[in-house]
Amino acid sequence: MKRTVHDNHRIEVHLNLRHPRGLRPGDEGYNEHAQRVCGEVERAIRRHVDNLAPASLGDSRPAPGAVRIIFDTREECSHCGLLWETVTEADLDEHSVLGEPLCCRKAVVEFRNEKGIPLGEFGEG
């Protein structure tokens, strides 16, 4: 019988990480801004949980009272912002090159220029 188990309870705090100068995720300096704001909140929370008991030996989960900064990581195209996906062996055809991006012409041109690969149909327009 399948059962539903709730475990690893924790608190996530979603902060307003809007940059004062309008920087967005992926912009130079945004990550440092986000890390600094998260660090300030982390220290404030830590002051309130610093006397909770440590985890028992052998438990790989964070100790009770542990405060961690967690963030998602994604790879996206710096030109168009789409998820970064590339040509795989299964996608290969006479027009594509293994490892080249799938999202946009700018990314393909950049990739082929870096690798010294002729632009082919991407050199037009």
Does residue 77 belong to the site contacting Zn ion (CB under 5 A)?
yes
Which range, of 22-30, 61-69, 71-79, 86-94, touches Zn ion by CB under 5 A?
Answer: 71-79
List Cα–Cα distances, 4 to 1, 10, 33, 38, 64, in angstroms. Answer: 10, 17, 39, 32, 23
CA–CA separation, 2 vs 4, rounded Å? 7
- CB of 74 vs Zn ion, minimal distance in Å: 14
Q: Site mask, Zn ion, residues 6-45, x = CB under 5 A?
A: ----------------------------------------
Single out the residue of 103, 105, 109, 117 in contact with Zn ion (rule: CB under 5 A). Answer: 103
Regarding 97 and contact with Zn ion (CB under 5 A), the answer is no
Give the shortest CB-122-to-Zn ion separation in angstroms.
Answer: 12
Nearest in space to 19 (alpha carbons), one of 10, 9, 28, 11: 28
Q: How many Å apart are CA 36 and CA 57, to the nearest integer? A: 32
In a 3-state reduction of DSSP, which class is residue 83? Answer: strand
Residues binding Zn ion (CB under 5 A):
77, 79-80, 103-104, 107
